[in-house]
Structure 1
Amino acid sequence: MAKTVIKSYSLSEMKDEYIGEIGTLERDKYEYELSMDVLGRMIKTARKERNLTQEQLGELIGVKKAQISKLESSANSATIDTIIKVFKALKAEISFKVKIENKNLLVS
């Protein structure tokens, strides 16, 4: 009886194969959308930890409930200014990491 060998792949290898390698337009778009999705989830989690409704958070920063809902489902269309206002209203610390030519810059 022949032994079957199953090849395993890392997540990075799967992304390279099915989405595109790092630096390609498809991969950059995927990574950006994933980041915005994670950011939206962080906002939702922080809001719930503060026991605020979407409407209450919207009132704190001067936007409608629908905008908070949209932001939590994906932060794609949000401006940095809006995101900063949201985290300030939630009394949450936020920092940004910018990478320029293999040098990391942290902004908080």
Structure 2
Amino acid sequence: MEEKKFYTQEEVKDMLIGKKGTPERDNYERELNLFLIGEAIKRTRLDKNMTQEDLGKLIGVQKAQISRIENGKNLTLATVIKIFKALGVNARLEIEDNGYKVALC
């Protein structure tokens, strides 16, 4: 009987998307991170029993823009900070590169 090969999640990503450092993998990682930020915004908004329209009014944008943001589109650092402040949530973003860490709160 042939022995089955098991792959780690990282190995599967390497095979299907590309190895780290390739444009395809970098784009995948970037899109995933934007999606996760949007999802965090959506969950926080729902926890506060707010509609997209309510949040939009707090930061001065239309409901459609909140929808795009929650889907990981049209995200800027300034917008993310503005949203979490409007939601009354402390958020921390850490950027780390070669041992140098910057934290934005």
TM-score under structure 2 length normalisation:
0.93
Question: How many residues of Structure 1 are paired with residues of Structure 2 in the alignment?
Answer: 105
For residues 22 and 89 of structure 1, the distance between their equivalents in structure 2, rounded to whole angstroms, comes to: 36
For 1:96, the equivalent position in structure 2 comes to 93
For residues 77 and 19 of structure 1, the distance between their equivalents in structure 2, rounded to whole angstroms, comes to: 23
Segments of 5+ residues of structure 1 without an aligned counterpart are: none
TM-score under structure 1 length normalisation:
0.90
Segments of 5+ residues of structure 2 without an aligned counterpart are: none
For residues 11 and 17 of structure 1, the distance between their equivalents in structure 2, rounded to whole angstroms, comes to: 10
Instruction: Output one character per residue of 1:29-50: Cα deviation in whole Å (capped at 9) or x when no partner.
Output: 0000000111111100000000
Who wins on radius of gyration, i.e. which is larger? Answer: 1
CA RMSD of aligned residues (A): 1.2
Post-superposition offset of 1:77: 1.5
| Greater alpha carbon shift after TM alignment, 76-85 vs 49-58 | 76-85
SS in 2 for 1:45: helix
For 2:80, the equivalent position in structure 1 comes to 83
For 2:10, the equivalent position in structure 1 comes to 12
The aligned runs of 1:1-108 (5 Å cut-off) are 3-74=1-72, 76-108=73-105
